[in-house]
Structure 1
Amino acid sequence: MPARNKEQEAEVLQWIEDVLGEKLPPQPYEDVLRDGVVLCKLINKIAPNSVKKIQPKGTNFQLMENVQRFQDAIRKYGVPDEEIFQTADLFERRNIPQVTLCLYALGRITQKHPEYTGPRLGPKMAEEHKREFTEEQLRAHEAHLNLQMGYNKGASQAGLGSFGNTRHM
């Protein structure tokens, strides 16, 4: 499991405060996020009406539903599945770094949404940089000898102890 990065966690909380325009309670990182209320408010600020129903208090099951609604909303918003944490990662504190990764992914994806003008999290995404090449430029390499097909003075990989070779002691 990856180690927790307190600086990244602090950056995420600061970003959430900046987006929401409100101070978060002075609790440990995972406790602030655990019930899903802050997460739902966050995605609703970024993409209004993403989560229709937020349970401010309730049973663990109801609070986990908040987290699941947040996950569904960010999935629709464009956060890739492999970057979305499992509910238990946060709720049972199984993998807090994955939660942080997911929030960074959300911060990154906001850059693809021109309607979002709020605070940024993490590095700026690279813009697509299209390059145009002429047919002549594309064919220029054909005259060169590929180094991998290059000249090796008859050397082979014989005796390198690869698979299937016996080991000489």
Structure 2
Amino acid sequence: SEIIAWFSDLGISSGPDNRGMDGFQEWLKDGTILCALINTLAPGTVKKIHNTKTVKMQALRMNKEYENISFFLDGCTKYGLNKSDLFQTVDLYEGCNVPQAQMTIFKLGGMAKKKDFAGPAIGVKIASKNERNFTDEQLRGGQSIIGLQVKMNPEN
């Protein structure tokens, strides 16, 4: 419901017609809402979104819906998500792993927070890289420190 509220707050969609996981999957299945999401976060990311409602042939419609989802996933990587954060198209389209699709949307919301997106966002803000560079002297000095988990009382 947090995801649905986010889409609503962004003005993308008011939510699925049916409740539950099946309703959620059916709502996102054609990929148009997902493409609208990535274009809201990063305008122009998906250049052409297929309107599959007008396609009569089922095989062609499926192909276009798969393509829309792929456009969204490509947009997610361009936006900064790792490939390991993404769901597989079949996870959403066939309902094999809808929670994985939800996790991708939450990760996308976290990336929006990291990039200081002006609108509402969901998920946990993704941390920025904080590399440390230690000198050889500092590294050697750390070797002589006894860890707090080391047992200090030899009698026990």
TM-score range, shorter chain: 0.7 to 0.9
Query: What are the residue-to-residue correspondences of 1:129-144 with 2, within 5 Å?
Result: 144=145
- Normalising by structure 2, what TM-score? 0.75
Larger radius of gyration: 1
Identify the match of residue 26 of structure 1 among 6, 17, 26.
17
Q: CA contact under 8 A between 1:20 and 1:41: conserved in structure 2?
A: no
Query: What are the residue-to-residue correspondences of 1:5-154 with 2, within 5 Å?
Result: 10-20=1-11, 22-27=13-18, 28-57=23-52, 58=55, 59-114=61-116, 116-125=117-126, 144-146=145-147
Percent identity over the alignment is: 36
1:89 Cα deviation after fit: 0.3
User: 1:22 & 1:144 partners in 2: Cα distance?
Assistant: 57
- What amino acid is aligned across from residue 82 of structure 1 in structure 2? S
- What amino acid is aligned across from residue 122 of structure 1 in structure 2? G
- Normalising by structure 1, what TM-score? 0.69
User: 2:130 & 2:123 partners in 1: Cα distance?
Assistant: 21
For structure 2, the 5+ residue unaligned runs are 56-60
Say how many residue pairs are matched. 143
- Report SS of the residue matched to 1:41: helix
Alpha-carbon RMSD = 3.2
Label 1:25 to 1:152 Cα distance change in 2 as closer, same or farther (>3 A).
closer
Label 1:144 to 1:16 Cα distance change in 2 as closer, same or farther (>3 A).
same
User: 2:77 & 2:43 partners in 1: Cα distance?
Assistant: 15
Deviations 1:117-145 (A, max 9, x none): 110202345577899x9xxx988766654
